[in-house]
Amino acid sequence: MSKKLNKEELSSLRKKLTEFNQAKVKLADALLHQEQLKGFINQLKEVFVSEEQKLLEKYGKDARINLETGEVTKQEPTLKVSKDA
């Protein structure tokens, strides 16, 4: 003889399964979105590096650019102090 769940038990179980499946779909969507964002960030990084290289070629390898003002200055040479002194 087989037994059956009552309507409330079956409804509750189905609801939990639906919630579980929805959560899995949301997680998959979030992971896909994360991968898309990683790709976008990598593209932005490549564009930034390319632009930076163009500016370094134009203004010199020792150029420092103030991103707030656009002012280009040269990096001050650093003095090396000998330990023997």
What is the chain's pLDDT, residue by residue, as a tens digit (85 residues)?
899 999 999 999 999 999 999 999 999 999 999 999 999 999 999 999 999 999 999 999 899 989 999 999 988 777 777 676 5
State the pLDDT at residue 75. 83
pTM for the full model?
Answer: 0.61
| 84 within some domain | no
Q: Which runs of consecutive H residues, i.e. helices, occur in 1-85? A: 7-59
State the pLDDT at residue 85. 56
| 82 within some domain | no
Q: Which two tokens stand for residue 10?
A: 């079956």
Provide the number of structural domains found in the chain.
1
Q: Are 59 and 70 in contact (CB under 8 A)?
A: no
| 2 within some domain | no
Q: Which two tokens stand for residue 17?
A: 């399964």
| 81 within some domain | no
State the pLDDT at residue 77. 72
- Host H or E run for residue 64: strand 63-65
| 51 within some domain | yes
| 83 within some domain | no
Q: Are 45 and 53 in contact (CB under 8 A)?
A: no
| 50 within some domain | yes
State the pLDDT at residue 26. 98
* Backbone dihedral angles phi then psi of residue 73, each to the nearest 5 degrees: -125, 165
Domain residues for 40?
8-74
